[in-house]
Amino acid sequence: MNGAELNRIATAMVARGKGILAADESTGTIKKRFDAIGVANTEDNRRDYRELLFRSEAAMHQYISGVILYDETIRQKAKDGTRLVELIERAGSIPGIKVDAGAKPLAHCPGETVTEGLDGLGLRLSDYRKLGARFAKWRAVIDIAAAIPSYTAVSANAHALARYAALCQEHDIVPIVEPEVLMDGDHDIERCAEVTEFVLKETFQQLYHQRVSLEGMVLKPNMVIAGKKSPRQAGTQEVAERTIAVLRRCVPAAVPGIAFLSGGQTDEQATAHLNAMVAGGNLPWSLTFSYGRALQAAPQKAWSGKAENTAAAQAAFAHRARMNALASKGAWKPELEKEAA
């Protein structure tokens, strides 16, 4: 393991004023996105859409530090024969790859899941590194309900995350460690804070046991936020303060940076919450974004599968990327959203 190189890449992934584009939707997930804009879910359409993003010079060169890819995408070529990975590298961004096999029901734990994909992971990582991946992502999913999460589910997912991270570093690939506490329920922000602290503490305990170098990883957590069905939705400042309080209790300063997931927030919510956290200042880690839908919803709608809409879609992508880049510096303001995308 080349610890210095892992740290260099991890630090570049969370560079000030830049963030990570999560373009790792599975074929099934991107079908839902395409259905919403009336686009057929074909391999060519998936390629054309992602090529559109990766050729968006304003966004990719200025605001995007890394791109998380799906297995299909890391092997694809653009219409002119250029590998999509090469387009990302040309833009000065770092290619990455989603390597988990998804969340599956966890035995004896009704309503809970564990993320699978450890079998054969070492060989796949070796292959992905040859294809250009320099970092990877693994997502654990923790739901909140009356009797869950259980310690069984939290510990199983934390252990899998840690084993994945150790394998990544063994293959000189930076692991993004993503323990996501979902915001789908009716829980309040206090309950989210309690569960997020539980999950993060268990995750870092397991990372320690698996001898993962904290300097060579990036954390991708949820923000501390009330469930979508909660009658009391916290304001921007409360979300920021509670999230930072939990992170301070759980995340060692050795971690180079934290790249938040948007987790079902609206575009502007995800931006405003990140901005408020960074604006608070005096943090031991770099804070930035690793958004999927919160970066892509606007360009997908603008594109709608039509080649003549490419420029408009790229402008929409650049606008959202710029808004989040400003937020990662604590310099975003709501009035900036009124600017034409």
Q: Strand, helix or coil at 38? A: coil
One digit per residue, pLDDT tens: the chain, 341 residues? 799 999 999 999 999 999 999 999 999 999 999 999 999 999 999 999 999 999 999 999 999 999 999 999 999 999 999 999 999 999 999 999 999 999 999 999 999 999 999 999 999 999 999 999 999 999 999 999 999 999 999 999 999 999 999 999 999 999 999 999 999 999 999 999 999 999 999 999 999 999 999 999 999 999 999 999 999 999 999 999 999 999 999 999 999 999 999 988 999 999 999 999 999 989 999 999 999 999 999 999 999 999 999 999 999 999 999 999 999 999 999 999 987 54
CA 271 to CA 212: how far, in whole Å?
30
Cα angle 223, 226, 232 (rounded to 5 degrees) comes to 145
Q: In which element (H, E) is residue 137 found? A: strand 135-142
Q: Which amino acid is at 303?
A: W
Return the ∠ at Cα 70 (arms to 298 and 13), rounded to 5°: 75
Pairing of strands 94-98, 64-69: parallel
Which pLDDT score is estimated for 279?
Answer: 96
Q: Can you give the pLDDT at residue 340?
A: 55
Query: 313 and 302 in contact (C-beta within 8 Å)?
Result: yes
Domains of the chain by residue range: 3-332
Residue 79 CA to residue 76 CA, distance in Å, equals 10
The whole-angstrom distance between residue 275's C-alpha and the CA centroid of its chain comes to 17
Q: Give the pLDDT confidence score for residue 1 in this predicted structure.
A: 78
CATH number of this structure's domain 3-332: 3.20.20.70
Q: What is the pLDDT of residue 339?
A: 72
Question: What backbone phi and psi angles, to 5 degrees, belong to 60?
Answer: -65, -45
- Six token digits for residue 326: 């400003």
> How far is it, in rounded angstroms, from Cα 67 to Cα 306?
23
Tabulate helix, strand, coil % of the chain (nearest 5): 50, 15, 35
Q: Which residues are catalytic?
A: 220
Strand duo 113-115 + 103-105: pairing:
antiparallel
